[in-house]
């Protein structure tokens, strides 16, 4: 029923190639996205070309670019080829009001976003580089397991060491060391 409601309300399927910027930080944005397949990346762009990855968007996730006065505070990029359903925020709000399940997904998304921010703050503020690296891989495993993308206790991870560095607040060289140490510790 929810899938039919989404289609009836005009959600548009879109496909993006890997590394395509979907929403630029600072642009007008009243759109939201439901990820159908692939990996997306939500980041905050910093002066000098650096970025802090805030979260990865996976199948089933709702991406609501944070905005202030209608301008996106984050950049949303297709990490891999990404298929999404796109709608205006207003359209999604109408859909959520007609479906308790969609409304609960909105609440779940907001709670998830707050939890991710809290974990990122804890990572960069108090966790060791090794602990924050392990934490990210375990978080991804848990999320991917929920959507059936874990097989034999492993999962496909398209992230580069540069992506991991931007998500963990480390240098790519330090990430390399942490990955080596995690492998050594099995």
pLDDT tens digits for 163-182?
999 999 999 999 999 999 99
Looking at the predicted structure, is the pLDDT value of residue 17 above 90?
yes
55-79: pLDDT as tens digits: 999 998 889 887 777 789 899 999 9
User: Among positive and negative, which fits the CA dihedral 13, 24, 145, 185?
Assistant: positive
Q: Which two tokens stand for residue 17?
A: 């190639």
Only one residue has tokens 């492993």, namely 154
Measured N-to-C along each axis, helices 100-126 and 129-146 cross at an angle, to the nearest 10 degrees, of 160
pLDDT the model gives residue 90? 81
Nearest in space to 73 (alpha carbons), one of 105, 37, 28 = 28
Strands laid side by side in the 51-57 sheet: 21-23, 75-78, 40-45, 51-57
Distance, CA of 162 to CA of 89 (rounded, Å): 32
| Predicted confidence band of residue 1 (pLDDT cuts 50, 70, 90) | low
22-38: pLDDT as tens digits: 999 999 888 889 899 99
| Predicted confidence band of residue 2 (pLDDT cuts 50, 70, 90) | low
pTM (2 decimals)?
0.89
Task: Quote the CATH superfamily of domain 1-99.
Answer: Jelly Rolls (2.60.120.10)
Q: Which two tokens stand for residue 173?
A: 């060289």
Contact 88, 64 (CB under 8 A): no
Three-state secondary-structure class, residue 18:
coil
Distance, CA of 17 to CA of 125 (rounded, Å): 34
Q: Where are the domains of the chain?
A: 1-99
Distance, CA of 44 to CA of 53 (rounded, Å): 6
Task: Specify which residues 16 forms β-bridges with.
Answer: 82
């Amino acid at each position: 029923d929810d899938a039919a409601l989404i289609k009836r309300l005009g959600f548009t399927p879109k496909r993006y190639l890997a590394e395509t910027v979907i929403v630029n930080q600072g642009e007008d944005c009243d759109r939201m996205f439901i990820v159908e397949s692939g990996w997306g990346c939500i980041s905050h762009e910093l002066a000098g070309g650096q970025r802090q990855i805030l979260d990865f968007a996976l199948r089933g996730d709702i991406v609501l670019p944070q905005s202030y006065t209608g301008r996106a505070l984050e950049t949303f990029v297709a990490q891999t080829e990404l298929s999404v359903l796109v709608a205006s925020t207003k359209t999604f709000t109408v859909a959520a009001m007609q479906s308790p399940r969609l409304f609960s997904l909105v609440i779940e998304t907001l709670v998830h976003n707050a939890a991710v921010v809290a974990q990122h703050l804890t990572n960069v503020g108090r966790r060791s580089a090794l602990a924050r690296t392990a934490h990210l891989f375990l978080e991804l495993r848990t999320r991917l397991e929920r959507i059936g993308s874990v097989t034999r206790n492993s999962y496909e991870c398209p992230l580069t060491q540069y992506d991991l560095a931007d998500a963990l607040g480390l240098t790519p060289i330090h990430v390399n060391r942490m990955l080596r140490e995690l492998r050594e510790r099995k």
